[in-house]
Amino acid sequence: MAASQKTGKKRSATSQTGPKAKKVHLESTKSDKKRSRPITQAITQDNGSDSDQSDVEDVGDEGDEFVDEMEGVEEEEQTMQVDSAPQGPKDPNAARESHKAQKILQEQRRAAKPHSTLLVDAKKVWSLVRQKNIPATERQKHVKNLMNVIRGRVTDIVFKHDASRIVQSAVKYGGQKERDEIAAELKGKYKELAQNKYSKFLVTKLIRLCPTHRTNILFEFQSHVLRMLLHREASSVLADAFELYANAYERTILLREFYGKEAALFSLTSGSDEEKERAKKGLSGVLEGSDAERRRRILGAVKDNLITIFNNSDKGAVTHAVVHRALWEYLTAINTSPESDQEKLRREIFDSCQEVLAEMVHTKDGSRVVREFLAQGTAKDRKQILKVLKPHIERMCLDDEAQLVLFTALDVIDDTKLLAKSLVSSITAVAQKLYPTSQGRRSLLYLLVPRTRRHFTPAQIASLAETDEVRSRTSKKSPESREEEVRRAASEDLIRWVEESGETLIREPTGSLVVTEIMLFAEGDKSGATQMLLKTLASPSIPEPHPVDLPPTSRLYKSLLQGGHYNHTTNSVERVPTSSWDTSVFASEFVTVVGRKQTVAMCVGNGNGAFLVAELCEALIRGDVESGRKSVKEWFAASDVSEQVEAGEAKGKKILLEKLALL
Task: Check residue 568 and give its pLDDT.
Answer: 87
pTM listed for this prediction: 0.84
Per-residue confidence (pLDDT) for residue 66, from 0 to 100: 37
**H/E segment holding residue 574:** strand 572-575
pLDDT at 585 over 60: yes
For the stretch 50-68, pLDDT in tens is 434 443 344 333 344 333 4
Measured N-to-C along each axis, helices 609-622 and 626-637 cross at an angle, to the nearest 10 degrees, of: 140
| 3-state per-residue secondary structure call for 91-123 | CCCHHHHHHHHHHHHHHHHHHHCCCHHHHHHHH
Residue 619, CA distances (Å) to 2, 84, 397, 475, 623 in order: 82, 93, 37, 42, 6
pLDDT in tens, 316-365: 999 999 999 999 999 999 988 888 889 999 999 999 999 999 999 999 99
Q: What is the DSSP letter of 508?
A: S
Q: Where are the alpha helices (DSSP H) in 230-354?
A: 234-240, 248-255, 273-280, 283-287, 292-311, 321-335, 339-353
Could you tell me the pLDDT band of residue 185, with boundaries at 50, 70 and 90?
Answer: very high
pLDDT > 90 fraction of the chain, expressed in percent and rounded: 59
Omega before 577 within 30 of 0, i.e. cis: no
Phi, psi (deg, nearest 5) at residue 574: -90, 95
Q: For residue 564, list its beta bridge partners.
A: 575
pLDDT of residue 33: 76
Is the pLDDT score of 270 beyond 70? no
Stretch 621-636: mean pLDDT, rounded?
A: 89
User: What is the average per-residue pLDDT within 73-79?
Assistant: 43
Backbone angle region of 272, left / alpha / beta, with phi > 0 → left and psi within -120 to 50 → alpha: beta
Res. 653 pLDDT band, cuts 50 70 90: confident
- Burial 339-354, CB ≥16 within 10 A → b, else e: eeeeeebbeebbebbb
- Judged against a pLDDT cut of 70, whether residue 29 lies above it is answered with no
Band (230; pLDDT cuts 50, 70, 90) = very high
Q: How far apart are CA 27 and CA 15, in angstroms?
A: 17
Per-residue model confidence as pLDDT tens digits over 525-561: 999 999 999 999 988 878 788 898 899 999 999 999 9
